[in-house]
Structure 1
Amino acid sequence: MSPISARGFAVASATAVTTVGAVVGVGQGGVAQPLDDAEATASESTLLADLPVGQQAQVQSATLTHQADVQAIAADTTARKSAEESARKQAAKDAVAKQKAAQAAVDKAKADKAAKDAADKAAENDVESTSASGSFPQQASYTVAEVKAIARQIIPSGQFQCFSNIVDHESTWNYQAVNPSSGAYGLVQAYPGSKMSSAGADWRTNPATQIKWGLNYMNDRYGSPCDAWAFWQANGSY
């Protein structure tokens, strides 16, 4: 290979297209020198012309390969930026969706509380109405659900759960429950059961009478059904 051919091959092989229409070549002394489009094209054409056909093909192939690599890198960079932007937008959408879901939960909780407050107020009004009439229509027998419904009308709403906890343990809401050992009777297991006659002569068969007596007993002895339930939890009885 002639000196000019060797030099042409080396310089042409080092030619790289880094951006559209921009070429970076290797000048004399081995220092990279930027060339403008016209100079790069003329220089490359001159150098290639000095090379044998086979070497020209090698140089052109190397140049095309480098161009393809540069384009692939540019495409990867664009794709990565696009993916990052899509991820950012999706994260923003997810944040908005979570905020809306949280607000919906808050709104539902407020609506549920408002409905409960309204129901409690209605129950209190029912209690006041029942207290004014002084009695409940008596039935031949009562289901547990019916007994609980009566209790809800008599016991203040804020105390009902505590009252219910005690009755659950004492009689499981059986208004005719009898303790075979002590003889305690009724929903609240009054001992003796005749104590409940102070609330009504029908204490044996009327759960409303038993509930009224039980409420009065818990209020007088402990302060409230919830105070009575706290005592029960500490002592296993009240």
Structure 2
Amino acid sequence: MYNVAICDDEEQQREHVRTMLVSLSLKTHIDFHITCFTSGEHLLSHYREAGDTFHMLILDVEMGGMNGIQTAKEIRNRKALDVQIMFLTSYPEYMVESFDVMTFQYLIKPIQPSVFEEKMIKLCQYFQAMDKKYMLIKSDYDELLLKYDDILWIEVVKSLTIKHKLNVVTEEKSHETKGILSSYATALKDHGFLQIHRSIIINLMHVQKFAGNQVVMLNGTELPIGRSKVKEVKDAYTKYMIMRIQ
């Protein structure tokens, strides 16, 4: 499923784009989760509260308040560099300015459904090629798309009220989710992750050193290694580093 944001201050245009996405989904069986925003400020409010949760942004250029290009610049400034942006406009002269925000596509209104579908299929193909680099984190309140490389470790959180509670830790913050740690360990094994303890999975690319029965991550955090796993973990890390060098 692809999370898509439609941002346009005209309801008729939002509905037109939403209808084209629904039609494309019925034809291709590509699933889209669509969220509509009435202004650039509305979309930026989402980014402040929920972070980078979208695969694609479909932005109208001409809007009251912040226009689409200004909105995209603010989003890029928040280090949301992986979300793909498609601009819709009636004026081709904005095209050069849109290049500053790494635009995937620039479509001139009125938008022909066949052209829109062609561009969206190409965009989905791009994400299919990139799927191995991302993980979708779900909580009770939102969904967050994280790069594997940005995850430092995943840990079980003891809770009397929430079963199977996990923290997914990045350099910026921890993200709460639910799941079975062993399932994450299996799914992430081929992406440089390793379970070092019954309650901890680490990203080997963020390891600084080993100190006895602990691993020191690049951010200075010390994490325990299970007693029976010390040799296994160190051997796995050595193998990982050799593979990276090669």
Which structure would you say has the larger Rg? 1
**How does the TM-score come out when normalised to structure 2?**
0.21
Quick check: which one's strand share is greater? 2
Quick check: which one's helix share is greater? 1
**How does the TM-score come out when normalised to structure 1?**
0.21
